[in-house]
Structure 1
Amino acid sequence: MPGLVNPGGSTRSTAVPKATREHIDNLKTAVRSALGIPDHTTVLIQQLACTEPGCPPVETVVAVLSTPRTVWKLPSATPDLTIAELRRAIEEHPEGHDHADHD
């Protein structure tokens, strides 16, 4: 069964497709390449329910666990996130980014 997400605290769970391990690994490689960081630096990619008003039901959070920690929140499900979209977010906001298209 696909991953379950409880968007916005709803009492119903919504099935959300899960990203493949290969897709997540490709996204992590793109992050490392775009930032020029070594392979031993931890990169986390996680799909989460977004509970903020107007936010899409799920978002992808990308975090680079270095000093300082850098985080990008992208308004799409992880399986739908393309390398081009991820690279664009990193290039436009190398300091990190919290999507604001749901205000």
Structure 2
Amino acid sequence: MRRAAILLAVLALLAGCASRRLVRHGQVNEDALETVRRGLVALRGLGFTTPVPVLALSRDGLGAVVKEEIEQSYAPGDIEHAEGVYTRLGLLPPGTKLRPALEGLYQQEGA
């Protein structure tokens, strides 16, 4: 349920750049949101079983949600372990911190 809410929030933010803006003056445009919901149902082939809350987030608010989601998605030490493995495999340049890179990537997707 939490991932669905975050997915819907991110999609809502992304769709906010479209001609039918989802967020105007800090308020969610319910008509445009319904278009996103219908599109998600068609894309996934699954209907929503419960209403998914939608929030209009500021950039700082989105950053806080992203940080919280990363904290809940990874066990303590997992990101740092992956960082070391990726560096040894040459997938990350030495000294690159994976946590801020993930946070930045997820924030850009939602902005």
TM-score if structure 2 supplies the norm length? 0.28
Structure showing greater radius of gyration is 2
More strand by share: 1
TM-score if structure 1 supplies the norm length? 0.30
